[in-house]
Amino acid sequence: MVTANNRTTGAEPPWTLTGSANIVFYRFSADFVNKRMVVPEGLEGMFLGGIGALGLVEYVTSPVGPYRELWFSPGQFAFGSRKYHSITHMYVTTTPGMEAGRAYWGLPKTIAEIDRSDENGVDQWRVFKDGHLLLDVAFRPGRLSLPVWSWMVRPRIMQHWNGQHYLTRLRGNARVRLTDLSQPQGRSPEFPDLSHARPIGAVNLPRFRLIMPAARVGD
């Protein structure tokens, strides 16, 4: 439960989460971002390009229990004189996961139904909200995996939420392997239409450990 002082009782950062994930990388044009998707308030006209990504995550352990997640970032946005990656769309399967993400990191989480199945080596994901299909995509990971640590890429995200900026420096490690995927499909204007977008690469994380420290919050 999010309290009046913007905290979630019993689940304060830092968080340590473990699980598995698939991440697809893209490079989007300013035309795609400004005209073909909904940009959150405060980020309109601020898109600068860079590498975008789509993530589908199964959190096996977290301070608020297991949950699934879909997130999307088209790339980097201008925040004053600096640029950061920012997540514009995010869906989770539990209310505690949603409330904590909003309160601690300014993440635009909302509730959705996320179904996952694995048959004959195919990792199938379907995401629905209010009965509408947001995303349908399948992955076929390779066999060889390599270790990756966060210091190799120094991931940082900046979120604009309720008039404030949240800067979070992510840490962690994972096993990573390349994966094939089907062309993502969806039938809702709420989520970006990726049916004609061409990925520049995709990876499967059969297991990861993610540490989310407290965000730096400012106006």
CATH number at residue 38: 2.40.400.10
**Mean per-residue pLDDT, 109-132:** 97
List Cβ neighbours of 127 (8 Å cut-off, separation of 6 or more).
70, 91, 112, 113, 114, 115, 133, 134, 135, 136, 191
The answer, yes or no, to whether residue 117 has pLDDT greater than 70, is yes
CA proximity to 85, closest of 141, 201, 184, 166: 166
Answer yes or no: are the C-beta atoms of 107 and 89 closer than 8 Å: no
Q: What is the pLDDT of residue 149?
A: 87
Instruction: Give the tokens for residue 38.
Output: 């909904």
Percent of the chain with pLDDT over 90: 91
What's the total number of domains in the chain?
A: 1
Q: Does pLDDT of 34 surpass 70?
A: yes
pLDDT score, position 137: 99
What number is the average pLDDT over the span 140-167? 90
Q: What is the mean pLDDT of residues 66-91?
A: 98
165 is a domain residue: yes
Which amino acid type is present at position 12?
Answer: E
What's the chain's average pLDDT? 94
Q: How many CA atoms lie less than 13 Å away from 23 in the CB half-sphere?
A: 17
Question: Has residue 161 got a pLDDT over 50?
Answer: yes
Question: 198: which residues sit within 8 A by CB, 6+ positions away?
Answer: 26
Q: Is residue 11 part of a domain?
A: no
When pLDDT is averaged across residues 17-32 and rounded to a whole number, the result is 98
- Identify the pLDDT of residue 18: 98
Question: Would 73 be classed as within a structural domain?
Answer: yes
Least trusted range by pLDDT, from 85-94, 145-154, 196-205: 145-154
- Above 70 in pLDDT, residue 3? no
Q: Is residue 208 part of a domain?
A: yes
Instruction: Read off the pTM.
Output: 0.93
pLDDT above 80 for 192:
yes
- The whole domain housing 69 covers 18-218
Q: What pLDDT is recorded for position 154?
A: 74
**Residue 27 falls within a domain, yes or no?**
yes
Q: How far apart are CA 166 and CA 157, in angstroms?
A: 8
Residue 8 in any domain: the answer is no
Q: Tell me whether residue 143 is in a domain.
A: yes
Instruction: Give the pLDDT confidence score for residue 10 in this predicted structure.
Output: 64
pLDDT for the residue 5? 39
142 within domain boundaries:
yes
Question: How far is the C-alpha of 95 from the C-alpha of 18, rounded, in Å?
Answer: 19
What pLDDT was estimated at residue 2? 39
